[in-house]
């Protein structure tokens, strides 16, 4: 069973996966090893995953068989476990809690394709809908306080499976990064009476130099204090604190701009490793209406090293102004619509 352990000095919890319990020899085999096993996420290999939680599939098709186009399964090697109540124990100066939580895998397509940007806009829409479905379902479990949806692409960004997928970890705690953002948002609101994210859109739209895509419902830009080269945020223009509030028109537009950003990154640098993190308000706790949900896309071309670990600050050798310009200048694949990016590479 996993454990949540808290650092006795700062608000930092660590999930110790004692069952996975990697020993030194497990790491000796990691380096340079290529995964040669069958891909368990491909169509026809449904029996290789734990039984599906939900799938969008043909009405006549059976659970855990082909016929689906997006599929959610429990993570086979979960960092957290769905059973049990989160009970906090004091161990001398330390605090520990049983490793409660949900850890799910969202399989974004049936075929073995490493990147989401090669999918159609319609397929990306389906992925966003299933993120929302899982978010709405998991919040019915009152133990869960936050639903972290994220995506790791490329080994450098932490992906251990190549087949395009995203993940979800629901936690019995509001994570420190989220609670610090909430504090910042509330402090700003108390001072100015407005939403800091809405004000950010206003300022960026006026200054223009960091804007990448300004669509009907979403605003995509390189944040002023970008931690990573080509970091990109996608914000809904309408103030919504909770990703669960997304509706049909927004899903359609988000699918288009999200895919466009991923395509731009893919064209800019081949096999660009990146993380996507969905930021949204917590659940089953005080409602945080001043929050503003959004997507943060973080390419991993730089390394978080000693300075970043020691200070919590970042060094970014590519200014967001240069990044946004390069992103804008990439041919607008958004308009090419359904053409997979692989075919498009040759044009660049």
Which range of residues in 15-23, 104-112, 117-125, 135-143 is near a copy of itself by CB under 8 A?
15-23
| Angstrom distance (rounded) from CA 133 to CA 65 | 21
Footprint of a copy of itself on 153-172 (CB under 8 A): 155-159, 167, 169, 171
- The answer to the question of residue 81 lying near a copy of itself (CB under 8 A) is no
Q: Which of 103, 163, 165, 217 is catalytic?
A: 165
Q: Using DSSP bridges, classify how beta strands 13-17 and 54-57 pair: parallel, antiparallel or unpaired.
A: unpaired
Which helix (H) or strand (E) segment is 151 a member of? strand 146-153
Q: 290 an active-site residue?
A: no
Taking CB under 8 A as the criterion, the residue among 38, 177, 216, 287 binding a copy of itself is: 177
Q: Which two structure tokens, joined as six digits, stand for 132?
A: 């929302």
Backbone angles phi, psi at 219, to 5 degrees: -120, 120
Go through 61-79 and write b for each residue having 16 or more CB atoms within 10 A of its CB, e for each that does not: eeeeeebbbbbbbbbeebb
Taking CB under 8 A as the criterion, the residue among 49, 123, 275, 281 binding a copy of itself is: 275
**Residue among 28 and 140 whose Cβ is closer to a copy of itself:** 28
Footprint of a copy of itself on 325-344 (CB under 8 A): 326
Backbone angles phi, psi at 121, to 5 degrees: -60, -40
Decide if 71 contacts 134 (C-beta within 8 A): no
Which range of residues in 42-50, 119-127, 133-141, 269-277 is near a copy of itself by CB under 8 A?
269-277
The footprint of a copy of itself on this chain (CB under 8 A) covers a number of residues equal to 92
Which range of residues in 39-47, 105-113, 127-135, 303-311 is near a copy of itself by CB under 8 A?
303-311
- Nearest Cα to 148, choosing from 221, 66, 56, 243? 243
Q: Tokens 């997304």, residue?
A: 246
Footprint of a copy of itself on 23-52 (CB under 8 A): 23-24, 27-28, 30-31
**Site map 178..207 versus a copy of itself, x via CB under 8 A:** x-xx--xx--x-------x--xx--x---x
Following DSSP, what letter does each residue of 166-206 receive, concatenated?
EEEEEESS--HHHHHHHHHHHHHHHHHSS-HHHHHHHHHHH
Footprint of a copy of itself on 224-243 (CB under 8 A): 224-227, 229
Q: Residue 54 Cβ, how far from a copy of itself at the closest point, in Å?
A: 21
Instruction: Enumerate the active-site residues.
Output: 165
């Amino acid at each position: 069973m996993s454990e949540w352990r808290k650092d006795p000095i700062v608000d930092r919890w660590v999930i110790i996966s004692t069952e996975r319990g990697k020993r030194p020899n497990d790491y000796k085999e990691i380096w340079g090893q290529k995964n040669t096993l069958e891909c368990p996420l491909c169509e026809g290999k449904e029996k290789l995953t734990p039984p599906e939680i939900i799938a969008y599939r043909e009405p006549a098709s059976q659970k855990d068989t082909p016929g689906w186009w997006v599929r959610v399964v429990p993570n086979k090697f979960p960092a957290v476990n769905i059973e049990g109540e989160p009970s906090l124990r004091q161990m001398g100066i330390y605090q520990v809690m049983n490793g409660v939580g949900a850890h799910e895998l969202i399989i974004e397509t049936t075929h073995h394709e490493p990147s989401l940007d090669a999918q159609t806009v319609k397929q990306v829409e389906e992925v966003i809908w299933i993120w929302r479905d899982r978010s709405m379902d998991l919040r019915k479990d009152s133990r869960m306080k936050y639903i972290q949806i994220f995506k790791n692409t490329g080994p450098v960004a932490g992906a251990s499976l190549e087949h395009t997928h995203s993940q979800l970890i629901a936690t019995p705690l509001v994570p420190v990064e989220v609670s610090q953002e909430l504090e910042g948002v509330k402090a700003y609101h108390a001072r100015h009476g407005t939403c800091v994210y809405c004000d950010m859109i206003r300022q960026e739209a006026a200054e223009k130099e960091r804007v990448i895509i300004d669509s009907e419902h979403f605003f995509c830009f390189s944040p002023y204090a970008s931690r990573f080269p080509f970091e990109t945020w996608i914000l809904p223009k309408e103030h919504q604190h909770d990703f669960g509030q997304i509706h049909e028109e927004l899903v359609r537009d988000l699918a288009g701009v999200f895919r466009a950003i991923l395509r731009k990154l893919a064209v800019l640098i081949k096999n660009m490793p990146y993380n996507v993190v969905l930021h949204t308000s917590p659940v089953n706790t005080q409602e945080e209406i001043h929050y503003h949900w959004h997507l943060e896309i973080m390419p991993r071309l730089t390394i978080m090293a000693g300075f970043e670990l020691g200070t919590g600050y970042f060094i970014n050798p590519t200014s967001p102004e240069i990044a946004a310009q390069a992103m804008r200048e990439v041919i607008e694949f958004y308009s090419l619509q359904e053409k997979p990016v692989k075919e498009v590479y040759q044009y660049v």
